Amino acid sequence: MSRIHVTTTINNDETDYLCETDETLLDVLRDHLDLTGSKEGCGSGDCGACTVVVDGRLVCSCLMLAAEAEGRTIETIEGMAGGDALHPLQQKFLEHAALQCGICTPGILVAAKNLLERNPNPSEEEVRYWLAGNLCRCTGYDKIIRAVMDTAANTRGAA
């Protein structure tokens, strides 16, 4: 089976890979590049556990073909912390106990970071609707919403 050669940027690193035509970006991240922080919860774009950012937009990586990543800029959960310094959202998720099993956490963090970059002062309702594409079965979302709101308030206070 012939494969496609793709050159792309993932978490600021230039990366290239060979993929089959039917492989998704999520397949490549997980199976070829060992970036297993993005999770496959459904494979149909319904759960958001595989959420990544492609050229600034949130994407379910299970719905994007790996071949489509040519020349794009991709951010995954693995690129969120700067070295050993956690991103403020990651820190707030820990402080608010905003995770239980943690399987949805990478996707939710990537989505929440994208929200705060667009809207540094979201209402609770705006946070809830922005994260409506990220399923969490453990928490009832309460502590997740609080962690995102608190991060936003903190970031505004620091600015």
Partner 1 sequence: MPKDEYQSRDFKVVGTRPIRPDGIDKVTGKARYGADITAPGMLWGAILRSPHAHARIRGIDTSKARAIKGVKAVITRDDFTYQPEDSDMADILDNCMAGETARYDGHAVAAVAATSKSIARAALAAIEVDYEVLPHVTDVDEAMKPGAPVIESGRQQENVPKGYSENVTGRSQYGHGDPEEGFKQADLVIKRSFKTAATHQGYIEPHACLATLGSDGQGDLWVCTQGHYMVRNVCAGVLGLDAGQLRVTASEIGGGFGGKTHVWMEPTALMLARKSGKPVKLMMSRDEVFRATGPTASSSVDVKIGMTKDGKITGAAATYRLQAGAYPGGIAFLSAMCGFAPYDLENVRTEGFEVMTNRPKAAAYRAPGAPMGAYPVESVIDELCQKLDLDPLDARLKNAAREGTKSSYGPTYPAIGLEATLKAAQSHPHWTAPLGPNQGRGVACGFWFNFGGDTCVSLMVNPDGTVSLSEGNPDIGGSRASMSMMAAEELGVPLDQVRTIIADTASLGQNEVTDGSRVTFAVGLATIKAARHAVEIMKERAAMTWGIDPEAVDWRDGAAHPAGPNAGKFPPMTIKEIAAIASNTGGPIAGHHEVNAEGAGVSFATHMVDTEVDPETGAVKVLRYTVFQDAGKAVHPDYVEGQFQGGAAQGIGWAINEEYIYGDDGRLQNAGFLDYRIPVASDLPMIEPVILEIPNPGHPYGVRGVGETSIVPPLAAIANSVSRAAGVRLTSLPMSPPKVLAALKAE
Inter-residue contact 130 to 122 (CB < 8 Å): yes
- Residue 106 belongs to what H/E stretch? helix 105-118
Interface with partner 1 (CB under 8 A), residue total 62
Question: Cα–Cα distance between 147 and 50 in angstroms, integer?
Answer: 20
Q: How far is the CB of 104 from partner 1 (least distance, A)?
A: 5
Q: For the window 116-145, what string marks contact with partner 1 as x by the rule CB under 8 A?
A: ---------x-xxx-xxxxxxxxxxxxxxx
95 binds partner 1 (CB under 8 A): yes
Going 33 to 36 to 38 to 41, the CA torsion angle's sign is positive
CA–CA distance, 138 with 76 (Å, rounded to integer): 23
* Span from 53-61, 63-71, 103-111, 113-121 in contact with partner 1 (CB under 8 A): 103-111
Nearer to partner 1, 71 or 85 (CB): 85
Bridge-partner residues for 14, per DSSP? Answer: 9
Q: Which of 4, 33, 42, 65 binds partner 1 (CB under 8 A)?
A: 42
Least distance (Å) between residue 90 CB and partner 1: 4
